[in-house]
Structure 1
Amino acid sequence: MLAVASPLQAGINLPEIGDPSSALLSPSQEQQLGRTLLREVRRTLPLSKDPVLLGYVEALGQRLVSSAPDAHPNFTFLVVEDPRINAFAMPGGIIGINTGLIDAARNEGELAAVIAHEIAHVTQRHIARAYAGSTRIDLATGLAILAGIIASAYAPEVGQAAIIGGMAGGAQARINFTRANEQEADRIGIGILAAADYDPQAMPGFFERMLQLSGGAGEAVPEYLRTHPVTSNRITDSRLRADQYSGDFRTDSQAFRMILARVQALQDPARVIDLHTRDRSGDPQDAARRYGYAIALIQRGQTEQALQALQGISGQDGADLYLELARAEAHMAARPTNHQAALQILERLNDIYPRHLPVTQTYVQALIGAGDHTRAMQVADGLLSADAKAPELLRLKADAASRLGRQAVSHESMAEYYFHHGQYRETVRQLDMALTAQDLTPHVEERVRSKRAIALRFLDDR
C-alpha cells in the first residue's frame, strides 16, 4: 500500500494564480503547482527510467540541496533522454537535466554547478516571482503555459500545442529568467557548490565550456545557452565570485565517470564497443572504461562478453556498486536468463543499500523474473512507502500483483503509475477495473473509490 502522501490520496486546492489577494504564489501553492506540473512533464518529455542514472542524479542533487540555504527537502530530479545540452527548473523544486548535459560535463563539479544553479532558481523563487505581475490566470492555463514552455525546448510541435492562445507570448516573457535572476542564481549556486565541497570554479568553467562548444555559430549554440544566456561579463562575474572561496574542494568522482560511461553506452552502444575494441591504449584497469564497455555489450545482447569485461576490476568512491549492478544486469539479460545468479548479487546489495532506488528496482525485476512475486511486492512497497519518486516501481508492483492473482491491487498500482504520468483518463479506467475485480476487499474498495474521486477532479480540470 502506498504512503498517505500518495498524490491520488490527497487532492490539491490551489487558488487562481494571479489572484489579487496574493501577488506571489505562497510556498505551499508553489509546491502543489510543482507536483501537478511534474505529472505533465512526465507525460510530455522522454524521461529516463534507468534506475542507476536516476539514483546517481537524485543523490547528487540532494547533496547540493542539503547545502542550499532555505531549501525545502522536497526536490525532485529528472533526467531527460535528449542529447542536447540543457537543464531546467520548475515550481516546487523540480529540476531536469538532459543526458546531453551529463555527456558534455568534463567532471562532476561541472554537472554539480548546473544543478546548483537550477536549485538556486527554485530557492530564490524566481518562477513564483514571475507570476507576481500576472493578470488573472487559472491553474489549468498556468499549467498549460508552463508545460508548453518546458516542452518546446525539446519538441517544438508539442510545446506549441500546449501553449494557450495569445497569452503564451506574454506569459513566456514573464517566465524567462531575467539577467538579474541569472546573476542571483550564479551567486547562490556558487555558494551551494562550496558548501557541498565542490570547487566553485566549476561554474565559470562550465560557462566557458559552453561558449567553446558554441563557437559563436547559430545552430551550434547549445540549448543551455538559449535558455541561460552566457556572456563574457557573466563568466568574469562568476569567476570573481568563485575566487572568494578557498579550500580543498572536490572536482570529480569515480561515480561520475561511471555514470558518464553508462550514458554513452546507453545512447550509442555500437560506438562504445567499436571505440573500446579499436583503442587499446587505455588503462585495462580503468573501471569506468570497462564498465561502459560492459553496459554497451549488455545493450547488444552480448552478455557473456559483458561478464568477462567485468571480471577482475574493482572501483572506488562507490564504484563497486555500479559494477555489481552491471553483473546482475548481465545475468538478467542473458539468454537463457540467470535470475538466481542475479538474485545472489542483489540480495547482498539490498542488505547493504536498503531502499536504494537502483538496487531496489533491479532487485524487484529479478524477483519477478525468478517467480517470487510476493517478495517482489514486499521489496517494492518498502521503497514506495517512503518515497513517491519511483513511479516505475508501481508498474513493477502491478506486474507482480497480477501474477499473484491480486487483480484489484494490480489495477490500483497501475492507476497510481498513470496518475504520476498525468494520464488521468487511464487512471480512472484502471480504478474502475479495480472496483470490478473479484478479489476486491472492502478496505481496498474504500481506498480505490477515494482515489477515483480525486482522479476525476483532475480529469475535469484538464
Structure 2
Amino acid sequence: MTTLGSFFHLFVSNFHLRRDEDQQVNNESAFFRLRIGAHCFAIFLLILSLLLLPQAASAQLSLGRFTISDEVELGRKFNILIRSRLPMVEDPEILEYVQGILERLNQQMPPQPFPVQIGVIRHGALNAFAGPGGHIFVHTGLLQHLENESEFAGVVAHELAHVSQRHIARRIEKAQFVNLATLLGVLASVFLGGDAQSALLYGSVAAGQSAMLSYSREDEREADQVGMNYLIAAGLRPQGMVHSFETIRKLRWLGGSAPLYLSTHPGIDERIGSMKDRVDRLPAHIREREENNDNYLRARMLVMARYTEPDQALAFFRGRELGSCLDDLGLAIALDRGNQTAEAQAAYERALACSPNDPLILREAGVFFLRLGNFDESARRLQEAVLRNPRDLMALFHYARLQIAVNQEDEAIKLLERILKHLPEQSSVHALLGRVLGQTGRLFSAHTHLAYAAIYSGDKKQAGFHMARAEEHARSTQEKSELEKIREILKEREELMR
C-alpha cells in the first residue's frame, strides 16, 4: 500500500530499510485490513467524540437561516473531520483521475458560491456523498465494483447535483441547528453511520434531526435528472448512471461489499426505471457514444491491487481482467503484498518489458527494488518515473526515501520540502521530514514538522508535546514567528482533534 496517505505513515518510522523492517512493510496489508474492518467502529467514535466537544468551543450557526458563509464554514470543518479521522487515498494516479472526472462534470454546472472538491476514502463500500460546502467523497469500493468510466462518473454527477441544488443546505436550514458540533455529528451519522448509530448516539429527538437531514425521494429524483444532464453535457454515456445504480442494487441482494449508497438513496427501483426511460428517449448519437476507459482502468488497477483482500486481488489479476500491461503490474503489487517476492519480481519485469516508459510501472518497480535493497535499480526506475511524470509526488517521496537509505539526508530534506509545497497538510511527509531533520541535529525544525504532522493527523497530545519541544529550541525571531503560526493552526483545529 504505497499511497501518499498509507505508505507515509508506515515508512516514517521504517525508513532505514533494514531487512526485518522490509518484512513489516510487506505485512502492511494485514494492518490495513484491520483498519478497514474497524471502519464503522471508527465512525462511531468519530460521532461520539463530536458529542463530547465542549460547547464553549463549538461555533454557533446564524440564527433564522443557513447562510452561504455558514455552509462554507461547516464544509471546512466537515472536510477536516473526514480527512483527519478516516483513511484517505493520496496516490496521485488515482486522485488525478477522480479530480479529472469531477472537473469534466463541474464545467457543466452553473457557477457555485464555493469551489467543489473531491476526496477518496479507503473503504470497500459502494458509497459516495456530498457534504456541505461542495465537499464530495467517494469510496474506493466504487472503483472496485463499477466497470467503466461512465458508471463512476454517473455517481459523481449525481452527487454534484446534490451540491448544485443545495439539498443538504436546505435540509440543515429546515432542521434549525444552532450548534456546529452537534450538526457535524449528525452529518457524520447521515452520510457514514446510518440511522441505527444515530438513534444510539443521539436518542429519539436527535435521531429525528438526523432523519431530517437525509435526502427525500424528491431530492433524489432531482439529483438523478440534474446529474444526468451533467453527464450528457460532459460527453459521457448516459447509461453509466443507470448501470452504476443497477450494480449497487445487485450487490445488495448478493451480499457484496456494504452498498451504503442505497441506505441513503430511497426508491432505487423506481428511479432506475425512470432513468432507463429517459435514456431510451435520447437521440441515437448520445445513446451510442463510445468511451475510452484507459485512465479509469489505471485507477481501478491500483485500487484492486492495493485495497482489496490479497487473495481477491491475486484472483482478479491472474484472470487477466484488464487485458493490458496493467494486469502484470497489478499482479506484481498483489504478489508483493502477499510476500511472494520472487513471483512479484518476475511480474514487475514483465510489466516493464510490456511498457518500459510507463511512469506508473516505473514508480512501482522502483519502490519494489528499494524494498529489496537494490538501490541502483531503484534509483534508475524512480528517476525515470519522476522525469516522465513530475506531478507524481509519490515517486518523488520514494526517491527521497532512497536518498535517506544511501545517507544523502540533505538531498532527501530538499525533496520532502518540495513535496510539502504542493501538499502542505500531508501529515506523514511532515513526520518523515521531522525525523530526518532530527537526525541531522536541526531540532527546532524537527519538532515543528512533527508538530504539524500531529496537528494534521488530529493527535492533540503529540501536537502539544512537539510544540513544547520546539519552543525550547526556538532562538530567532523567525522561529518564534513560526511557532505562533503553528499555535494558530492548532487553535483552529483543536476542537476536532482526538
TM-score of the superposed pair, with normalisation by structure 1:
0.81
C-alpha distance in 2 between matches for 1:72 and 1:366:
44
- What per-residue deviation string (whole Å, max 9, x for no partner) do you get for residues 109-157 of structure 1? 2112112222222233222222212335222222222233344159x76
Residues 214 and 48 of structure 1: CA distance in aligned 2, closer, same or farther (over 3 Å): same
Shift of 1:312: 4.5
Q: Any conservation in 2 of the 1:193–1:200 contact (CA below 8 Å)?
A: yes
> Is 1:259 the counterpart of 2:299 in the alignment?
yes
Match of 1:231 among 268, 271, 279: 268
Q: 1:305 aligns with which of 327, 343, 352?
A: 343
Instruction: Determine the structure 1 residue equivalent to 2:210.
Output: 172
**Alignment match, 1:140:** 181
Q: Are 2:149 and 1:115 aligned? A: no
Q: How does 1:379-418 map to 2 (within 5 A)?
A: 379-388=415-424, 390-418=426-454
Using the alignment, how far apart are the partners of 1:284 and 1:40 within structure 2? 36
Corresponding residue SS for 1:69: coil
* Shift in Å, 1:317: 12
CA pair 461-200 structure 1, distance change in 2 beyond 3 A: closer
User: Is the partner of 1:70 in helix, strand or coil?
Assistant: coil
Please state how far the C-alpha of 1:295 moved relative to its aligned partner.
0.7
* Corresponding residue number in structure 2 for 1:19: 63
CA-to-partner distance for each residue in 1:153-202, whole Å, 9 max, x for gaps?
A: 59x76x778x5555521321222112222222222322332343321220
Q: Which has the higher helix share?
A: 2
Structure 2 counterpart of 1:323, from 361, 384, 405:
361
Task: Say yes or no: does 1:80 pair with 2:116.
Answer: no
Single out whichever of 223-232 and 308-317 deviates more from structure 2: 308-317
What 5-or-longer segments of structure 2 have no aligned partner? 1-56
Which amino acid in 2 is paired with 1:287? C
1:96 matched to which residue of 2?
A: 137
Quote how far apart the aligned CAs of 1:203 are: 0.3
CA 1:357 to 1:129, structure 2 compared with 1: closer, same or farther past 3 Å?
A: farther
Question: Cα deviation per residue 1:396-427 (whole Å; 9 max; x = unaligned)?
Answer: 33333333333322332233333333334433
Structure 1: runs of 5+ lacking an equivalent? 1-12
Q: Tell me the distance in 2 between the aligned counterparts of 1:318 and 1:31.
A: 46
Partner of 2:464: 428
1:296 offset after TM fit, Å? 0.7
Partner of 1:64: 105
Residues 131, 275 of structure 1: alpha-carbon distance in 2 compared, 3 angstrom cutoff: closer
Gap change, CA 1:131 and 1:330, over 3 Å in 2: same
Secondary structure of 2:291's aligned partner: coil
Q: Alpha-carbon deviations, 1:330-368, whole Å to 9, x = none?
A: 11222xx22343233223332333343443444344344
Residue 380 (structure 1) shift: 3.3
Deviation at 1:454, TM superposition (A): 4.2
Q: How far, CA to CA, are the matches of 2:400 and 2:151 in structure 1?
A: 33
- The separation in 1 between residues aligned to 2:295 and 2:355, in whole angstroms, is 6
Corresponding residue SS for 2:133: coil
| Residue identity opposite 1:228 in structure 2 | H
> Contact conserved, 1:332 with 1:339, CA < 8 A, in 2?
yes
Q: CA deviation at 1:249?
A: 4.2
8 Å Cα contact 2:426/2:456 also seen in 1: no
Residue 210 to residue 55, structure 1, CA distance change in 2 (3 Å):
same
Q: Match of 2:402? A: 366
Once residues 456 and 107 of structure 1 are traced to their aligned partners in structure 2, the CA distance between those partners, rounded to angstroms, is: 44
Corresponding residue number in structure 1 for 2:39: none
Post-superposition shift, 1:310? 2.9
In the aligned structure 2, how far is the partner of 1:461 from the partner of 1:299? 34
Q: Is the 8 A contact 2:451 2:462 kept in 1?
A: yes
How many Å separate the matches in 2 of 1:283 and 1:98? 21
Residues 153 and 169 (structure 1), Cα distance of their counterparts in 2 relative to 1, 3 Å cut: closer
Q: Deviations over 1:72-112 (max 9, x none)?
A: 77444333232222112212232222222211101122112
In the alignment, which residue of structure 1 is the partner of 2:388?
352
Whether the 8 Å contact between 2:59 and 2:181 is mirrored in structure 1 is: no
CA distance in 1, matches of 2:175, 2:480: 43
Determine if contact 1:398/1:413 at 8 Å carries over to the other structure: yes
1:5 counterpart residue number: none
When the two chains are superposed, the root-mean-square deviation of aligned CA atoms in Å is 3.6
Conservation of the 8 A alpha-carbon contact between 2:450 and 2:463? yes
CA distance 1:407–1:111, change in 2 (3 Å): farther
How much identity, in percent, do the aligned residues show?
A: 25
CA distance in 2, matches of 1:141, 1:307: 51
Residue pair 2:81, 2:496 contacting (<8 A) in 1 also = no
Is residue 305–residue 333 contact of structure 2 (8 Å, CA) maintained in 1? yes
Structure 1 position 224, deviation (Å): 1.4
Note the C-alpha offset of 1:274. Answer: 5.4
Checking the alignment, whether the CA contact within 8 Å between 1:114 and 1:203 is kept in structure 2 is yes
Q: In structure 2, which of residues 463, 466, 478 is the aligned counterpart of residue 443 of structure 1?
A: 478
Alpha carbons 1:395, 1:417 under 8 Å: kept: yes
* Corresponding residue for residue 235 of structure 2: 197
Q: Does 1:183 align with 2:221?
A: yes
**What is the CA–CA distance in structure 2 between the aligned matches of 1:170 and 1:84, rounded to whole Å?**
25
Moved more, 130-139 or 238-247: 238-247
* Amino acid aligned to 1:251: E
